[in-house]
Amino acid sequence: MCEFEPGGAVALPGGIGISRLSVYDIEAPDGLVGGTPHVHLACSEGYYVIAGSGAVQTLNPKGFTETPLQAGTVVWFDPGTIHRLVNDGGLQILTLMSNSGLPEAGDAVLTLPPEHLADRETYLEATTLRGEGEARTTSAMARRDLALQGFAVLRESYEVQGPTALDDFYAAAVRIVQPQLADWRRRWEQGARRLADETGAALDALDAGTAPHLQTAELHRLPAPTEFGRHGMCGRLDIYEINP
């Protein structure tokens, strides 16, 4: 039987991360209002729509789709799904992210044109936000519009080539994130994997007729976001930071 050792680092159920997202309300060059298209390579992400309406555009090996969003809608997508939020008015979302919020802590690559994906340094030069506070909005919109250029090319290429149109982008994204993988693995091991192992240990204990984990039960609370209005990829974020 696996020995159960309760009392690890605090983490949300399942080792997820959450943030409140107010999707950008600034019009893009294509006439739509919303966020920056990007992809996650290791993590899934979900949306629970709190208010407003809009859509999420997605592109993956199965093709392009546009899914309507309104209050109460729940959607999620796998790593490898390029996604872009469109804001038709007041779109606010509770984002649910695997691996302790890793998608907002590094697991994201924007769909920039290929010349900006040549290597990690070139990519960071094009995507790092400049300025402080509201002054960052101009920089955030510039990188969004650059990513929309690359997204449009990927969509057009997919219409001709099918799934292979995404291969070069995926390969470039892998190269860009590789220096971060040790930290990603730490988050996974100390977050989602640890919690899954604890559940397995609890089940083993229950099967043996014991329940030591019940003796350490308590309520956990995140009283408020640790940061308000951060410029994210899709909009302004209220961040609940949990470091496993």
- Per cent of the chain over pLDDT 90 is 85
Check residue 244 and give its pLDDT: 61
Residue 176 burial (10 A CB sphere; 0-12, 13-18, 19+)? buried
Check residue 9 and give its pLDDT: 62
pTM of the entire structure? Answer: 0.92
More confident residue, 101 or 55: 55
Exposed e or buried b for every residue in 29-46, given b needs 16+ CB within 10 A? eeebbbbbbbbbbbbbbb
Residue 121 burial (10 A CB sphere; 0-12, 13-18, 19+)? exposed
Check residue 85 and give its pLDDT: 98
Superfamily of domain 13-198 in the CATH hierarchy: Jelly Rolls (2.60.120.10)
Angle 9-12-17 (CA atoms, 0-180°, nearest 5)?
110
1 falls in which pLDDT band (50, 70, 90)? very low
Tens digit of each residue's pLDDT (9 = 90 or more) over 7-37: 446 789 999 999 999 999 999 999 999 999 9
Check residue 224 and give its pLDDT: 86
Check residue 222 and give its pLDDT: 84
**Which is nearest to 177 in space by CA: 124, 139, 141?**
124
